[in-house]
Amino acid sequence: MKSFLIANPKGGSGKSILATNLAGYFARCGHQVMLGDTDRQQSAREWLAIRPGILPTIHTWDIEQSLPARPPKGTTHVVLDTPAGLHGKALERVLKQVGRVIVPVQPSLFDILATRHFLETLLEEKAVRKERAFVAVVGMRVDARTRAAGELDRFLASYDLPVLTCLRDTQLYVQAAANGMTLFDLSAARVERDMEQWQPIIDWVDA
């Protein structure tokens, strides 16, 4: 079973957008995918509740009374969204459950500062140091023409981590999410530019 953690302790970094769309990609490929939260808000479960039944199925946790939540039987791919403020024992615990970590970061000073601290902490975690979990970064809501995008590039260049891609700031993500959908549920013509940006992520998660 392949497992992916989408993590950044900074609120509003784009974790849920990245998590839902990654799950949507796996579902579109025909995999048995589970999208879950590691926090109490369970926003992923609420999003899945509005997902149209005609779209490729994305599952959520199997929850039974007095038993820990677990992926449904037959699950091949797990995508875990995380809450703001993930650190310490909670971070250590969840890293033991996944094989890969994707860190979304936006091109703002506050996002960069928060992500710098998180990346330094993440790289010191045993699972990462011993290469039981592999880490990559994705830029979120990036306009390559701006000075902020340049600052983000310089920040990410200071780490020996793969920077998979930068996703543009577009209302397509918001509009799709509001209807329980992902970009992978929309017409190819409508998302052509975005699929080009997603291809490096796809290559990395499928490797």
For residue range 113-148, what is the model confidence (pLDDT) as tens digits? 999 989 998 988 888 888 888 999 999 999 888 888
> Would you list the domain boundaries of the chain?
2-206
Residues 6+ apart with CB under 8 A from 58: 23, 24, 27, 33, 34, 35, 48, 51
Tell whether the model's pLDDT for residue 66 goes beyond 70.
no
Does the global pTM surpass 0.85? Answer: yes
Tell whether the model's pLDDT for residue 178 goes beyond 80.
yes
Q: CATH number of 2-206: 3.50.30.30, 3.30.420.40, 3.90.1150.10, 3.40.50.300?
A: 3.40.50.300
